[in-house]
Amino acid sequence: MKISTKGRYALRLMIDIAQHCNEKPVSIKEAAKRQNISDKYLEQIISILNNAGYVKSIRGPHGGYLLKKAPKDYTVGMILRLTEGSLAPVTCVEEDADSCERKSNCATFVVWQKMYDAICDVVDNITLEDLVSWHIEGSGDYCI
């Protein structure tokens, strides 16, 4: 499994908004400049985040985006699943997967399930608040 730029940039954008929205709504142009990402690409990503209800849009000359909830209420898993879809390494362990006829005789099923469980354990237990704190403290490089 490989996280695409869409997933990585969505996380970076959400971190940027969380860090700067206390000052004023975050414009895509400002975030794009800070993150060194194309503003056209961030416009596509913010549309996904906005449609999912993760951010709210403020119109006008001083408009931009704010988080709809507190940073502690967003997990890395929520953001990645929104932008990437399933995080399962293979389809047979996805949450809504049809039961595989080979499951009972598949020597590798347990490996895939353990991988998926480990991925979920990590991404579902790290919040946007954690990422912002790690960045501020300098204890974690948030280069995603």
SS (H, E, C) 72-115: HHCEHHHHHHHHHCCCCCCHHHCCCCCCCCCHHHCCCHHHHHHH
Distance of alpha carbon 131 from alpha carbon 31, whole angstroms: 16
140 pLDDT above the threshold of 80 = no
Q: In the numeric block, which tokens belong to residue 46? A: 């913010």
Place of tokens 């906005």: 50
Q: Percentage of residues in the chain with pLDDT exceeding 70? A: 94
pLDDT for position 61: 84
Q: Domain 5-85+127-137: give its CATH code.
A: 1.10.10.10
133 pLDDT above the threshold of 70 = yes
pLDDT for position 114: 94
pLDDT for position 28: 95
Residue with the larger pLDDT of the pair 51 and 134: 51
The model's pTM is 0.87
101 pLDDT above the threshold of 90 = no
pLDDT for position 142: 47
Alpha carbon of 143 to those of 16, 66, 89: distances in Å?
12, 22, 23
Instruction: Give me the mean pLDDT over the 63-80 stretch.
Output: 96
